[in-house]
Chain A
């Protein structure tokens, strides 16, 4: 059974149709790239899959927890790495939040920075916290919106290494990018999006 199934999703920003009838299925352990130019509707589609936007028509059905990592670092810059993770772990009712936070900090290799305010971290580390929050509570699927757009090649590699480890444990990952190079991260499938449609 797919972890996420989208059926004929449509989203209109007023008169502007951003997503125009998208259907897709995401299976366990799959790494799928969603590629398309600026304004193609990638963010809007991922937001509907994450349940952040209610589709104008169509439906997205999910099985199990879905982690979501927005394009812009959705973290509290005044809170520390550990505090950010702890807050979202509690909010998502992750069992044994403290242990989950400690494990995530270890996996993200942020042990030395755990008490530092996120606002003082480098862009790469901040993005790792952002992704880490999406991965709290071992989600069945992870939606990543341009996860490495702002990172240099080294940070990019580190982050992808980190994501691949989760894919290996069975997490389904759907990530958007407008960068063909990013699609070179050995995805199982590539979905191409233009003007709100999959081509």
Chain B
């Protein structure tokens, strides 16, 4: 077992040495995906456009004002401000907003309910009320979802701060009036508020008279004024305190997520580029490395020694898969400068790229086993790789059902579609059933590896 491992290592080291001496081949193999990555990067790398967000507000124009003592807060203006860092798309109803997200017309939706003004008023007056803004997000693209959510949250935080500031100013003015006295608009009527300081002066002025005369009718009115001031002051403070308590977060954001039918375009395009690159890299490399053994007439010499045909196939598979995974990983890293990819799942990228690389390389060795020369093997790899990739990219809606079924079967039997799905899921952070897809890919790798073994027995026996 150990010596087999060592032989495997030597075959791979030898192949690497040959690749090092083949700058043209390696140059093409590396430049090709890098060029592809750059093209994708340039195409998608234009400054990220503002997220399109459907906005529905149930508050009729001009009815968004909340009267707070002497000040009015325009809730409508603040909710309009919510759309500052996005491209708002006005919609006529909640249903329309939801539909836009579901159909991928917009990336999210903001819904401002009609009762928001009443809720703010209630919150301010009684300390009860939850003014709520609804946010509908798209689950299909978690990266964009988080981005949009973060953008909107930033806006909401700014609006919160503005409302909180206005409320605080109102509360402070009221408190000032309570202390200094003056006109206060309260419960719909204008009240002439005595104020703590004036009350103090009145009581202070009454004290000498109190000391000279006995208790009598003359004391009644000022004392009654003191009592009524105390009542109002208590009431005033009792409305101010819950407001002050709620000032930090006057708005509640209710988040809902739904899964849009469309696929997130930017990250998906990256997945396509990565998968196409890996397909050709792994296939070309595996097919060429195997065919090279035969074009150099070394194959028979190799397989009569400790490196049997299976070990030889495994060596080509591993080398091609690892090289293709490494190059496409670097490619993904470069593209991630332009398109947000979920770096948090980087170990999943590596796993998916390796497994997909194995499946592509297995297809490559199956073709390499048939060819006697490197050029023929490369041509075969391209001839088979192109339609495999192309078929898997045909949208099902573009063709008839019968043809679609045939395409689906072919796509299932070749590794491209599964690899694309797994890569897209790994790069974007979405995707359930990823484990199953990886098993599918490993199954295909085994199947094509087996085919390669049979092809070698058939075509290379007397080489």
Contacts and interface: CB of A to CB of B under 8 A. Distances in A.
A74 B298 contact: yes
A87 B22 CA distance: 18
Interface in A77-129: 77-79, 83, 87-88, 90-93, 117
Given A70-B301, A83-B14, 9 more contacts: A52-B303, A70-B300, A74-B301, A76-B18, A77-B296, A78-B17, A79-B14, A91-B307, A93-B306
Interface centre among A13, A44, A72, A87 (most CB of B within 10 A): A87
Contact of B17 (A44, A73, A77, A79): A79
B461 interface: yes
A74 B17 contact: no
Interface centre among A13, A52, A53 (most CB of B within 10 A): A52
A36 to B, nearest CB: 18
Contacts of A117: 21
Contact of B304 (A50, A72, A77, A93): A50
Interface of B: 3, 6-7, 10-11, 14, 17-18, 21-22, 296-298, 300-307, 461-462
Nearest to B22: A78
Given A91-B10, A92-B306, A93-B306, A74 B21 contact: no
Nearest to B20: A78
9 contacts: A47-B462, A68-B301, A70-B300, A76-B18, A76-B298, A87-B10, A90-B6, A91-B7, A91-B307
A52 B300 contact: yes
Nearest to A90: B10
A50 B462 CA distance: 12
A117 B17 CA distance: 11
A76 B14 contact: yes
The 5 closest A-B pairs by CB, nearest first: A78-B21, A74-B297, A74-B301, A72-B297, A52-B300
B305 A91 contact: yes
Contacts of A78: 17-18, 21-22
A133 interface: yes
Given A47-B462, A74-B298, A77-B296, A92 B14 contact: no
Given A53-B461, A91-B307, A93-B3, A133 B21 contact: no
A52 B460 CA distance: 11
Contacts of A76: 14, 18, 296, 298
A76 B6 CA distance: 20
A17 to B, nearest CB: 14
B305 A75 contact: no
Contact of B21 (A72, A79, A90, A91): A79
B10 A47 contact: no
B178 to A, nearest CB: 93
A88 B296 CA distance: 14
Contacts of B303: 52
A4 to B, nearest CB: 14
Nearest to B296: A76
A71 to B, nearest CB: 9
B140 to A, nearest CB: 48
Contacts of A83: 14, 17
Contacts, number: 59
A2 interface: no
Interface residues of A, number: 26
Contacts of A161: none
Contacts of A75: 296, 298
Contacts of A51: 304
A128 to B, nearest CB: 16
B214 to A, nearest CB: 124
Contacts of B307: 91
Nearest to A89: B10
Contacts of A47: 300, 462
Nearest to A133: B301
Nearest to B306: A91
Interface centre among A51, A78, A92 (most CB of B within 10 A): A78
Contacts of A88: 301, 305
Contacts of B300: 47, 52, 70, 74
A52 B309 CA distance: 12
A92 B461 CA distance: 21
B315 to A, nearest CB: 11
Interface string A23-59: 0000000000000000000001001001111000000
A154 B71 CA distance: 112
Contacts of B6: 90
B302 A91 contact: yes
A74 to B, nearest CB: 4
A52 B304 contact: yes
A92 B3 CA distance: 11
B304 A68 contact: yes
Nearest to A78: B21
Contacts of B21: 78-79, 117
Nearest to A91: B305
Contacts of A77: 296
A87 to B, nearest CB: 5
A53 B303 CA distance: 11
Nearest to A73: B297
B297 A79 contact: no
A168 B26 CA distance: 46
